[in-house]
């Protein structure tokens, strides 16, 4: 049974794979960062639960369909499994900015879906890792600890500096995972 304080929720584009201002519209355009897949697998092997929360407005805009998104997510799951890991759940919002949904980040609907699927009472103490302010804002009302990575749009987000109070900043997902696992190891050694 997963525990909220052992849950890491990741944004997808810009955190796990390269982002594009023109949208990631095909399996060929879905290119994972070299160390991201291994970082996810390392978390899983260390007993952490990993979930993904991703806005995919390209569906609403007609740039690609759900079947293309499922192919990308299938490839992600396969790569993570090959590395010895597992992704517990991938939640996506297919809506556009004007669709008045409750799942598009910065709203917390995707995180609420993850909470329900994982049968957690709350997400208090879990980690929300993203490359944009809206990723971190989605985690805020759920009690998630905010982490900004500098990949994707992260460097631009960091330069703006607005709304990042309390957020930890790392070069990429692998650097965050290095820190988190080292922190855990130190904590266990202190016991």
35 an active-site residue?
A: no
Q: Per the residue annotation, which of 5, 11, 78, 178 is the catalytic one?
A: 11
Cβ distance 139 to 9 under 8 Å? yes
Task: Tell me the torsion sign for CA atoms 149, 155, 156, 162.
Answer: positive
11 an active-site residue?
A: yes
124, two tokens: 């208090």
Q: Per the residue annotation, which of 5, 13, 19, 21 is the catalytic one?
A: 13
Q: How many CB atoms lie within 10 A of CB 9?
A: 28
Say what the alpha-carbon torsion angle 12, 134, 95, 74 is, to the nearest 10 degrees.
10
160, two tokens: 């703006």
Give the residue numbers annotated as catalytic, written as ranges.
Answer: 11, 13
């Amino acid at each position: 049974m997963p525990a909220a304080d052992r849950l890491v929720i990741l944004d997808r584009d810009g955190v796990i794979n390269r982002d594009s201002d023109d949208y990631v519209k095909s399996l060929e355009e879905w290119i994972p960062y070299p160390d991201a897949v291994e970082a996810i697998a390392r978390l899983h092997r260390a007993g952490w639960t990993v979930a993904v929360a991703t806005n995919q407005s390209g569906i609403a805009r007609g740039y690609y369909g759900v079947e293309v998104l499922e192919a990308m997510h299938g490839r992600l799951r396969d790569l993570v499994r090959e590395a010895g890991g597992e992704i517990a759940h991938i939640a996506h919002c297919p809506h556009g900015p004007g669709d008045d949904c409750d799942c598009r980040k910065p709203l917390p609907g995707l995180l609420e879906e993850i909470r329900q699927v994982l049968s957690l009472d709350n997400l208090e103490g879990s980690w929300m890792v993203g490359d944009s302010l809206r990723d971190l804002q989605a985690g805020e009302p759920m009690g998630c600890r905010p982490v900004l990575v500098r990949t994707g749009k992260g460097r631009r987000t960091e330069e703006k500096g607005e709304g990042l109070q309390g957020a930890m900043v790392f070069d990429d997902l692998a650097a965050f995972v290095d820190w988190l696992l080292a922190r855990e190891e130190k904590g266990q050694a202190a016991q």
